[in-house]
Amino acid sequence: MESKIYDTAEEKERLILVAVAVSDDDTMWSLDELDELGRTAGAVTVAKVIQNRERIHAGTYIGKGKIEEVKELVDRLHADTVVCDDELSPAQYNNLSAELGVKIIDRTVMILDIFAKRASTSEGKLQVELAQLRYRASHLVGVRSGLSRLGGGIGTRGPGEQKLEMDRRLIKERITQVRKELEHVKRTRELTRKNRQENPVPVIAIVGYTNAGKSTLLNKLTGAGVLSEDKLFATLDPTTRKMVLENGEEFLFTDTVGFIRKLPHHLIQAFRSTLEEAKYADIVLHLADCSNPDMDMQMQTVYDTLKQLGIEDKKIITAFNKIDLADEEVSLKDINADRTVKISAKNGDGIKEMLKVIEEVAKEGRKIFEKTFSYEEASKLSIVRKYGQLLEEEYGGEGIYVKAYIPGEYMYLFEE
C-alpha cells in the first residue's frame, strides 16, 4: 500500500497593516515594527498601507477611499486580518469590520497577544490577563457579536474564549479578583526589595527597547540562563541575579520588560510593579541597539516610558550594544546618560569596561570611611561589612583599623 505524506503545518495568518500619518515622519518605522510584531505573533504581512491625513478619522480610522483600497487588497491577497497601528475605539472597530468583512485588530491587541503567548510565570499571566480584561472592558460596547466571530489567530490567546463572551459585570468581577492576586504578588516583591535594602548590594536595573539584548547581557554577566531570542518581548518576567567582581564587590542585575513605541497603557498599568524594578534600583543600565537605524527613536521611547513611571532621578549608564554589527560611522551619543560605553553582549566586547564604569558610578554615592575601633567595639565591623565595602582591615595594639566605602545614608551608624 502506497504511503502518503500530509503537510500538517499550520497556515500563517495573513495580515494587512494600516497606519495614519499625521504630521509624523516615523510612521513607516512604526509600521515596520508592527510587521515585526506580527512575525513574533506567528503571522505574515502581505501588504502595508499608509494614509496621510490631518487627523485620524473618528468613525473609521482611515478615510472612505482608503477603505476601498484596503478592501481590494483583502480580496486580492486573501488576507485574514487588518491590523491598525493605533488603538481603535469601539466605533472604529465596528465600522471597519462592517466595511471590510474581515477580522480587525489594533496594535494594542497585537502586543497583548504576544504578551499572552510569552508569559510563563503566574505573575506574568495575571498581569497579561488584567491588561486584556481592561482593554476588553473599554471596548465591550457594540463588540459582543464581533468578538464571537474571532475564531483563532492573533487576539484570541490569553484568558480564554469564555472571557470574550463575558458581560461588563463579569469582567469587572474578574478584574477585581486578578488585582487582589497581583496585590499579593506586589507585597511579596516589596518585601524582597526591603530585604535587598537591608543588605545594600547595589542593584542595577537593565532597561531598554525590546530586543535590545537585555537578556543576552544578563546571561553573559551572570549565567542566568534567561531565554534569549531575536524576537520582540522574548522575555516578560523580571530576573534578578548576583554578580561578584574580581575585587569581591557584589552587584545585583535585574532584567526588565522591554519597552516599545505606543506601549499600551493597559500594559503599563498591569506591569507597573515589574517595571518599577528600575525605580528602586541604584543605577539604571540603559541598553541601546546601536546596529538599529532607528536607535535614537527607540532611546527616546525608553526615556518617555521611564518618565511615565516616575523614574527620572537615577544615575543612568547607556551601553550601546551590538557594536560588532553597527556601522562604524554611526554617532553614538546620549545626552540623557551620565556615562556611556560600547559593548557587544553576545561576544563580550567592552563588558569589562562597562563593569568598571558601573563600579565607578556606584562609588559616587559612597564615602570613604576610616576609623580605628577598640576591641570592645569589634562588633561594629559586622555593620561595616553589611552596609559597605571593606577596603582595609588591620589589627594593632590600639584596636582594629578599618577603611571602607560606606553609602552616605548609612554613615549615621558610625557617628559618635
Per-residue confidence in pLDDT tens, the chain, 416 aa: 455 554 545 678 999 999 999 876 688 888 999 999 999 888 999 999 999 999 999 999 999 999 999 999 999 999 999 999 999 999 999 999 999 999 999 999 998 888 888 777 788 888 888 888 888 888 865 444 444 444 567 766 655 544 455 567 888 888 999 989 888 887 887 777 666 655 567 889 999 998 888 888 988 888 765 555 555 665 566 678 888 887 777 888 888 778 888 877 777 777 776 677 777 788 999 999 999 888 998 999 999 988 888 887 889 999 999 999 888 777 789 999 999 999 999 999 999 999 999 988 988 867 788 888 888 888 888 888 777 777 788 898 888 898 887 776 677 777 65
Give span(s): CATH 3.40.50.11060, the chain: 14-113
Cα distances from 412 to residues 369, 387, 388, 415, in angstroms, run 12, 12, 13, 5
Pure H helices in 63-167: 64-77, 90-100, 107-118, 122-138, 144-148, 161-164
Please report where in the chains the cell 465600522 appears, as a residue. Answer: 95
pLDDT tens-place string over residues 84-120: 999 999 999 999 999 999 999 999 999 888 888 877 7
> Cα–Cα distances in Å, from 31 out to 104, 262, 391?
16, 12, 54
Torsion of CA 303, 307, 310, 311, to 10 degrees: 20
How is residue 294 written as a grid cell? 532607528
Task: Confirm if 93 and 143 have CB atoms less than 8 A apart.
Answer: yes
Instruction: List, for residues 346-397, the tens digit of each pLDDT value.
Output: 999 999 999 999 988 988 867 788 888 888 888 888 888 777 777 788 898 8
CATH top-level class of 14-113: alpha beta
Residues of the chain within CATH 3.40.50.300 domain(s) are 200-363
Decide: residue 105, CB within 10 A, 0-12 exposed, 13-18 middle, 19+ buried.
buried
Residue 90: all three cell numbers together: 469601539
CATH homologous superfamily of 200-363: P-loop containing nucleotide triphosphate hydrolases (3.40.50.300)
**For 116-138, how does the pLDDT look when each residue is reduced to its tens digit (9 = 90+)?**
887 777 888 888 888 888 888 88
Tell me the per-residue pLDDT of 244-260, one tens digit each, with 9 for 90 and over. Answer: 887 777 888 888 778 88
Please enumerate in sequence order all residues whose Cβ is within 8 A of that of 45, keeping only pairs 6 or more positions apart, or say none. 15, 16, 17, 35, 38, 39
